[in-house]
Structure 1
């Protein structure tokens, strides 16, 4: 077990068997560090940050990422866990400057766990959280050349919004902003198959 302290949000039966979606707490900083660095190493073209930058973070830096930050109204860091191992990561953030929009960051699933419903479960959890928090829309950015991720987001109701932007300074890759309108989340239709 990775020692997660966060409460399980839901138990889910997906194509890979049972997994749980859990909210991270500050006490989970080591597990968060491990999965975040794995995501940056595995998918360097999917994130504006880099493995080299974040591997240099101190314990205080990692803990700070799991606490409320200046300018952040609410954050909702999640992981998907299967058989004691973290297999996915995502975070919802509502910024103080616009509390009507929930942003999705750090979406990543372990390569051998992709296509099994984990990203969908993470997105559904963030969508439900955003709805309950009173948001009117959700936003994210996806690397323009990452068609599998863009396809997932489109199937989940996200649409391209705005022009392409650089992934990070000095990168030739571009990202596509996407937006999803909220207010019609059907908790029955969009529900995750919960284990009793």
Structure 2
């Protein structure tokens, strides 16, 4: 069974373990590089500060008490639409935990956080070619906003922005309440 834990600054070691593993395993999926968070960038105060972003919430998924995935939610600086916009960031599931509902549990946690915080929209970016992630997000009510845009990688891939409108106590496709 997947346990979702809300992380605080004191949980920086869990976040560090997951973040470094994510950047090593899926370097093309993130705006940061592994090298940015190693060496001089690998400092306790930096990890704590990441978990202490104002208005943000970060989650770790645990399987059998071992870190298996992560996701975060952050407010978008400029209000966009009714209730403002939040962004789902840093989503990653360890390859050994994929296909076990970990990604679903993390997305639900971020949706619940954003709804409870009063955001009207939740958005995310997914790299072109990442069909599994796009399918996960579609299952949770996210829709593409249009053609790919944003960051262009050297291999020609671009990010696709997807959004979900949030409503209080909205039911997802399985009938479960997630708002």
Q: Same fold (TM over 0.5)?
A: yes
Which is worse superposed, 171-180 or 20-29? 171-180
Partner residue, 2:50:
65
Alignment root-mean-square deviation, CA: 2.0
Instruction: Say if 1:24 and 1:189 are closer, same or farther in 2 by CA, change over 3 A.
Output: same
* In 2, Cα distance between equivalents of 1:44 and 1:156: 24
Tell me how far 1:126 sits from its aligned partner. Answer: 1.0
Is 1:28–2:11 an aligned residue pair?
A: yes
How many residues align structurally? 171
The TM-score normalised by the length of structure 2 is 0.87
The residue correspondences of 1:18-167 to structure 2 (distance < 5 A) are 18-56=1-39, 57=41, 58-68=43-53, 72=54, 74-98=55-79, 100-167=84-151
Instruction: Say if 1:135 and 1:24 are closer, same or farther in 2 by CA, change over 3 A.
Output: same
Q: Deviations over 1:35-61 (max 9, x none)?
A: 100001001111111111112322211
Which consecutive unaligned segments of at least 5 residues does structure 2 have? Answer: none
Given that residues 166 and 173 in structure 1 are in contact (C-alpha distance below 8 angstroms), is that contact kept between their aligned partners in structure 2? no
Given that residues 2 and 101 in structure 2 are in contact (C-alpha distance below 8 angstroms), is that contact kept between their aligned partners in structure 1? no
The TM-score normalised by the length of structure 1 is 0.80
SS of equivalent to 1:134: coil
* In 1, Cα distance between equivalents of 2:67 and 2:103: 13
Which consecutive unaligned segments of at least 5 residues does structure 1 have? Answer: 1-17
Partner residue, 1:186:
171
* In 1, Cα distance between equivalents of 2:103 and 2:157: 23
**Greater helix share, structure number:** 2
